[in-house]
Structure 1
Amino acid sequence: MNVHALSQYRTIDRLAARIALHRHSTNPRPWHDWVRDHLPLRAGQRVLEVGAGTGALWPQPVDGVVPTDFSPAMCTTLRDKGFGPIRCSADALPFTAGVFDGAVACHMLYHVDEPADALAELRRVLRPRGWFVATTNGAGHMAELWDVARTVGLPMAFPEAANLSFNAENAVALLGRHFDGVEVIRYEDEIRAPGVEPVVAYLASCLDRDATDEELAALHDEVARRRDFRVGKHSVLLTAQG
């Protein structure tokens, strides 16, 4: 996992702030529900989730689903919710080959140093013709937030979506090296922020340190200046077979 991710996920607070802003999305089908709609999950299957975070994908623990995360804080949160997480990195999975029927990697492959290494590992632990689902972002995703950050000189820890190491633009090619039948589905959505604070909290969460009072004040003023603040999204789900 890269150095920025290690800093970002030392606690759950930064991730929680980002999830909170997405609650103001306009798509009537919430993101995590929509992702689950596209999982070919069947009873009796053993499914790996890498980078499970706080377990937001699942309303409750699911038989056969094995969540993993590199962050001790995320693993603690998963355990507190009744999951049985395994702490590991997606590019060094502690499982024998072919033991999973399916695997899920939601908005996390750009956090490993080399996404191709993680994809090779995921393919290794899947049985022949096992299924894989990944999600990520693409060009223009939440560009309005990055514009605010540039305007006030906020040093964002993450690159813009188009520059992620695993994004909507390069994901098909990266997956195609290890999987067959890659398909892409776009999630149509935008955020309509109800006020300034959720946007400021999101942007402050994207630093590798705590925001200063001056930075928070500058963010507040800049977001307030942009009335009826809307944030466009470009999120995709990819399906493939081992």
Structure 2
Amino acid sequence: MTRRSPWQRPARYWPLPVAVIAWELATRSAQAAYFPPPSRIAARLHEMWFSGPLWRMFLTDEAVADLLPSLGRLFAGWGIACAAGVLAGVALGRSYLLSALVEPLVHFGRSVPPATLLPVFLLLFKIGTPMELASIVYGVIWPVLINSMDGARHVDLQYIETGAVYRLSAWQRLTRIILPAAAPKIFAGLRLSVSLALIMMIISELVGSSEGIGHRMLEAQSQFDIPAMWAVIVLLGLLGIALNTAFLGVERLLLSWHRGARG
């Protein structure tokens, strides 16, 4: 396996500053009211959320009121969906009878766009955190469930037979054979679910919330505060990159044995 040069990894990111510079020059020359330059967006982003005191890690009052509740709901909904998806997926993957009964319902449920069920969640939970958590959980659970089910179903039969030879208990077979063998598939579903959790967080806050990043975006739109609206969009992009990078780091750490065996 060839090793990358120390200069190759930073070189991958050169299109980003080029794109920002091009965006700055194009918007300044166009003078379009609805497309402010990145410098103006960055200034508004700093003013809204990151110009607070040092002891609060530069977070403003708006950041505490908007960012923290949104992130709390995002991680709570993602965690619930991941736990439920892995547990149900492994159970369905290892039981052919249960899978035959439930799998059609799973494929029906994942085919329903989560946004179309927001009115139902509003009726059931009213406006507030429970409705937003339900929306996130419903939108996130499907890739985790399906990948966990597929990973648990296709465990190498030799591993199962070896466990039977050594008379491993059901719990030992689950923790030492099935889950490690299914882990790459499970983590693939978890990685997809991170971006879906961010999307569902915003959609749920746009529909029914009095706080959060989505509510702040709606408020900026109603007040024709275009730089603030773009600041929210940029913040969401940065959050998506940060969450994906953090998840990849955890995945590399936990699946290092798999990468080493594959390499």
- Decide: shared fold, TM above 0.5: no
Shorter-chain TM-score tier: under 0.3
Scaled by the length of structure 2, the TM-score of the pair is 0.26
Please identify which structure carries the higher helix content: 2
Scaled by the length of structure 1, the TM-score of the pair is 0.28
State which structure, 1 or 2, has the greater radius of gyration over its C-alpha atoms. Answer: 2
Please identify which structure carries the higher strand content: 1
